[in-house]
Amino acid sequence: MGRIPLADLTVDKHLRAVSASDTNAVWRALVDALAGGDALCVTDTPPVPVVVSDECAVVVLTSGSTAKPKRVAISAEALRQSARATAEAIGTGGWMLALPLDYIAGLMVLVRTAEAGRTPVEFTATRFDAAEFCRAVRELPDDTWFTALVPAQLVRLVDFAESNPDARDALRRFERILVGGQAIPDGIIDRATALGVRVTKTYGSAETAGGVVYDGVPIGDTEVRIAPDGQIELSTSSLALGYLDDSGMVTPWSFSTEDDRRWWHTTDIGAMHDGVLTVLGRTDDIIVTGGIKVSLGDIDRVLDSAGVNAVASWFADDTWGQVPALVSETELDRDAVRELIEREVSPEARPYRFVTVLEFPRLSSGKIDRRAVHDLVANVES
């Protein structure tokens, strides 16, 4: 299958940098960008390049949790199409912002707010606290409300609400809570549902202007297909224009056009059954140890199912190439964990290095910083 490079972006619009800490400034700049004004990049660092094509409305930096961050250029129409697809899927109303604005999930909360003709309502705590969040929700005026969270936030809220009736009532005020951005722990959505909290699992990225698959089902005009190697490929009207300043090396291999329809080739592995997508892992979660492929995502899923609070990573080895390792916040029963992984994943997935930290390194979105985890493992003295 041929991959066709995008046309070079015409340089004729300024790119404005606005700090994520100033929600009002981001809101004003976003509204202006959606109306055809200067493009917006939510960052404390002036973006490069400082000019973009007339089509571009926002530039979003990818998280960089597993790779070098990219600058994703998205048009105003793509942002609107994403917001409209969400409205068609779950309804319309007010949105409460509880995510950083320098990530697509947080920025899309503002886009949906603008499309609904509302003004932003922000949860302003500097550190996410379940009790404070529920208190803020109870103060919302009577209306239909939505929010978007990362899994770590949902876990804290469910843990708190299971022993607090007021918190349960607060979370039930949301018509829908969108959750995505990383793997969702097994059972957490069932626990939320048992409390009467309506949660939708989303799948998407900056390259798709946010979630385009809800609870495994494509929304809007999104199409999903699985490549022969298991890679997930997405086509949708909310697809990004491409990557900025990549020297022509990334965009042509990530986006292609076939029969007048554009596709984004993700780094995720998945399967489709009866029209429902299951995400199985990432291609960049795959290591090769002694010539055998091992999925770090498979190791993480087994650990999570067994209640082991640890993250899989790897380190370089002259003999085996890449060797599995684990990082945890508490000391593990190493023999028991090795036996578990050998039995449930494969002998090759057996971890050979264990690192204990006070706290997992995390990105501002709440995601575990996989690159920092890898650095911790790689820098341990053998």
> Taking CA 136 as the corner, what is the angle to CA 112 and CA 309, rounded to the nearest 5 degrees?
85
Q: What is the distance between the alpha carbons of residues 185 and 148, in angstroms, rounded to a whole number?
A: 16
Which CATH number is 76-279 given? 3.40.50.12780
Percent of the chain with pLDDT over 90: 64
Numbered ranges of CATH 3.40.50.12780 in the chain: 76-279
The label of the residue with tokens 């007010």 reads: 94
Identify the helix (H) or strand (E) that includes residue 115: helix 104-115
Per-residue pLDDT at 186: 75
Give per-residue pLDDT as tens, 318-344: 778 889 999 999 999 999 999 999 999
Helices 104-115 & 23-34 angle (0-180, nearest 10): 60
Least confidently predicted of 18-32, 78-92, 235-249, 330-344? 235-249
Q: DSSP labels for 12-73?
A: -EEEEEE-TT-HHHHHHHHHHHHTT-SEEEE-SS--SSSEE-TTEEEEEE---SSS---EEE
Numbered ranges of CATH 3.30.300.30 in the chain: 290-378
Task: Record the tokens describing residue 347, joined without a space.
Answer: 């002998």
**Confidence class for position 248, pLDDT limits 50, 70, 90:** low
Q: What is the distance between the alpha carbons of residues 254 and 247, in angstroms, rounded to a whole number?
A: 13
Asked whether residue 185 carries a pLDDT value surpassing 60, the answer given is: yes
Per the CB < 8 A criterion, the answer to whether 82 and 107 are in contact is no
Task: Record the tokens describing residue 226, joined without a space.
Answer: 């699985």
**Confidence class for position 58, pLDDT limits 50, 70, 90:** very high
Give CB contacts under 8 A, 24+ apart, made by 274-283: 275/217, 276/216, 276/217, 277/203, 277/213, 277/216, 277/217, 277/218, 277/224, 277/232, 278/216, 279/203, 279/232, 280/230, 282/66, 283/231
The label of the residue with tokens 């055998």 reads: 292
CB 357: neighbour CB atoms within 10 A? 14
**Confidence class for position 1, pLDDT limits 50, 70, 90:** very low
Give per-residue pLDDT as tens, 11-56: 578 999 999 999 999 999 999 999 999 999 999 887 666 888 899 9
Per the CB < 8 A criterion, the answer to whether 180 and 202 are in contact is yes
CATH 3.60.40.10 is the classification of domain 290-378:
no
Give the mean model confidence (pLDDT) for residues 208-219: 97
The label of the residue with tokens 């066709």 reads: 4
Per-residue pLDDT at 381: 67
Least confidently predicted of 124-133, 323-332, 364-373? 364-373
CB 339: neighbour CB atoms within 10 A? 12
For the chain, the farthest-separated pair of C-alpha atoms sits apart, in whole angstroms, at 63
Q: DSSP labels for 215-252?
A: TTEE-TT-EEEE-TTSEEEEE-TT---EESSSTTSSHH
Q: What is the distance between the alpha carbons of residues 102 and 63, in angstroms, rounded to a whole number?
A: 9
Asked whether residue 64 carries a pLDDT value surpassing 70, the answer given is: no
Candidates 308, 267, 349; CA nearest to 66 is: 267
Tell me the pTM.
0.78
**Over the Cα atoms of the chain, what is R_g?**
21
Per-residue pLDDT at 316: 86
Per-residue pLDDT at 382: 53
